[in-house]
Amino acid sequence: MRRPMMTAALAVLVLAASAPAYAQTVRLTTTLSGSNETPPLLTGAAGSAEVFVNLATRVVTYEVKVFNIPTSTTAGHFHVGGPGLAGPVVVNLAPPSVSDDFTITGSNNGSTFTVRAEQGIRTWDDFIQALVGGQVYVNIHTTANGGGEIRGQLTVVNEQ
């Protein structure tokens, strides 16, 4: 009687171990606007961002679309900070130095980011936790608005 139960338990363990491991991916989005800047800014520029976090590989992939930027861009970043709060740069996005429309795409596995210990960002995992927890925003800076032309707080849309 023991043998069939042990065989059944072993079969369950083998099946569980051989099942494909699917990476959980978290999708975040935001709309970028001057009204989200701190303090709010009146601008004709707008944008959107879509970010994917693969929790198994710890890779963050992003696409930021920017429209109608009136003056040349100087920088783009992921900042750590809650809605309405100015926070420090954690990840650079490297937009082209242009005005008008453009798209920034890329990915980061933690090989390039800035530690912000005073905000609790000591490791890449800390950044990912802040990102998924709604404490990261995208900011696009221009020559006319060095502190930021358009900004958007990233929020989780779904988990796959």
CATH number at residue 81: 2.60.40.200
Q: What is the pLDDT of residues 92-111, one digit of tens each?
A: 998 988 888 999 999 999 99
pLDDT at 127 over 50: yes
Q: Do 103 and 65 contact (CB within 8 A), yes or no?
A: yes
pLDDT at 97: 87
Contact 89, 148 (CB under 8 A): no
Tell me, yes or no, whether 13 lies in a domain.
Answer: no
How does the average pLDDT of the chain come out, rounded? 87
∠ CA 57-60-61, nearest 5°, is: 120
The distance of Cα 45 from the centroid of its chain, to the nearest Å, equals 21
- Note the pLDDT of residue 160: 59
Q: Please check the confidence at residue 59 and state whether its pLDDT lies above 50.
A: yes
Residue 31 has pLDDT above 60, yes or no: yes
Q: Is residue 73 part of a domain?
A: yes
Instruction: Return the H-helix or E-strand segment holding 156.
Output: strand 155-159
Is 132 among the domain residues? yes
Binned at pLDDT 50, 70 and 90, residue 159 comes out as low
Q: Is the pLDDT of residue 6 over 60?
A: no
Written as one string, the DSSP assignment of 92-140 is: E----S-SEEEEEEEEE-SSS---BGGGTB-SHHHHHHHHHTT-EEEEE
Give the bridge partners for 26, in sequence order. 53, 159
Q: Which long-range contacts (CB under 8 A, 24 or more apart) does 130-133 make?
A: 130/80, 130/90, 131/28, 131/51, 131/53, 131/60, 131/78, 132/26, 132/28, 132/53, 132/156
Q: Which domain holds residue 104?
A: 23-159
The mean per-residue pLDDT over the stretch 107-131 comes to: 95
| Of residues 32, 24, 52, the one with CA closest to residue 152 | 32
- 97 falls within a domain: yes
pLDDT at 99: 86
**More confident position, 23 or 90:** 90
What gap in Å lies between CA 69 and CA 61, rounded to an integer? Answer: 23
The domain tally of the chain equals 1
Query: Is residue 9 assigned to a domain?
Result: no
Q: Could you tell me if residue 101 is inside a domain?
A: yes
